């Protein structure tokens, strides 16, 4: 194998409002947690079960950080792409601690707000479909556009549902 890939794609909901702090170089750093859930029916009881995983997300991209700070809130459904990074630190007692985070960096990553929590009755509005706040160069397929694509008028038909997927059968 010539190389390797470190890419994480998540669709989930924020567990709390994003936390914003300033880096040493006066750049914004935004952190938040995203919950992803899987559902299944228990074979023995027939009961519906759920398992939720929490993912810590860190944004080091100023443009995406501004969007996250302005529009993301607890419960927001997001599509994001980033890279896994593990870091080490010492806690107050001197014990080594580790954490693994999904990092959206300066040139790698994407964030799309799938729905808005602003009380609109329509729901499912895709923030990225109109404003494209992505640092990547490809469309997410979930209503988002890259920064380059967002600046050009679209000649393609708009998707029919809130996930940006045209589910019409072509015949």
Q: Is the dihedral of CA 78, 81, 86, 92 positive or negative?
A: negative
C-alpha angle 82/87/92, rounded to 5°? 135
pLDDT the model gives residue 170: 67
CATH class, domain 8-113, is mainly beta
How buried is 140 (Cβ within 10 angstroms: 0-12 exposed, 13-18 middle, 19+ buried)? buried
pLDDT the model gives residue 102: 97
Confidence class of residue 2 from pLDDT cuts 50, 70 and 90?
confident
Mean pLDDT of 29-51: 95
C-alpha angle 54/55/60, rounded to 5°? 155
CB atoms under 10 Å from CB of 86, counted, come to: 8
Mean pLDDT of 150-163: 45
pLDDT the model gives residue 167: 64
Q: Pairing mode, if any, of strands 77-90 and 48-59?
A: unpaired
What are the residue ranges spanned by the domains of the chain? 8-113
Mean pLDDT of 130-158: 39
Whole-prediction pTM: 0.66
Is pLDDT larger for residue 120 or for residue 58? Answer: 58
pLDDT above 80 for 143: no
Q: How far is CA 68 from CA 3, 21, 71, 164, in A?
A: 32, 12, 5, 20
Distance CA 75, CA 34 (A): 9
pLDDT the model gives residue 15: 96
Confidence class of residue 171 from pLDDT cuts 50, 70 and 90?
low
pLDDT the model gives residue 108: 87
pLDDT above 80 for 136: no
How buried is 12 (Cβ within 10 angstroms: 0-12 exposed, 13-18 middle, 19+ buried)? buried
Mean pLDDT of 35-57: 95
Mean pLDDT of 36-41: 95
Distance CA 65, CA 28 (A): 6
Distance CA 50, CA 105 (A): 31
pLDDT above 90 for 125: no
What is the CB-side half-sphere exposure of residue 112 using CA atoms within 13 A?
30
Q: Percent of the chain scored above 70 by pLDDT?
A: 67
Contact call for residues 133 and 78 (beta carbons, < 8 A): no
Is pLDDT larger for residue 106 or for residue 119? Answer: 106
């Amino acid at each position: 194998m010539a190389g390797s890939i470190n890419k994480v794609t998540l669709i989930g909901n924020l567990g709390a409002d994003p936390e914003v702090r300033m880096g040493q170089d006066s750049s914004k750093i935004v952190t938040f947690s995203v919950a992803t859930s899987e559902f299944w029916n228990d074979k023995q009881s027939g009961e519906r079960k759920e398992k939720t995983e929490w993912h810590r997300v860190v944004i080091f991209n100023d443009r995406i950080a501004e969007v996250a700070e302005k529009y993301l809130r607890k419960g927001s459904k997001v599509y994001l792409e980033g890279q896994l990074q593990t870091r080490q630190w010492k806690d107050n007692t001197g014990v080594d601690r580790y954490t693994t985070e999904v990092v959206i960096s300066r040139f790698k990553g994407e964030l799309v707000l799938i729905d808005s929590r602003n009380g609109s009755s329509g729901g499912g509005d895709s923030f990225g479909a109109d404003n494209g706040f992505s640092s990547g160069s490809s469309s997410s397929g979930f209503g988002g556009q890259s920064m380059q694509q967002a600046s050009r008028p679209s000649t393609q038909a708009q998707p029919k549902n809130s996930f940006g997927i045209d589910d019409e059968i072509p015949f």
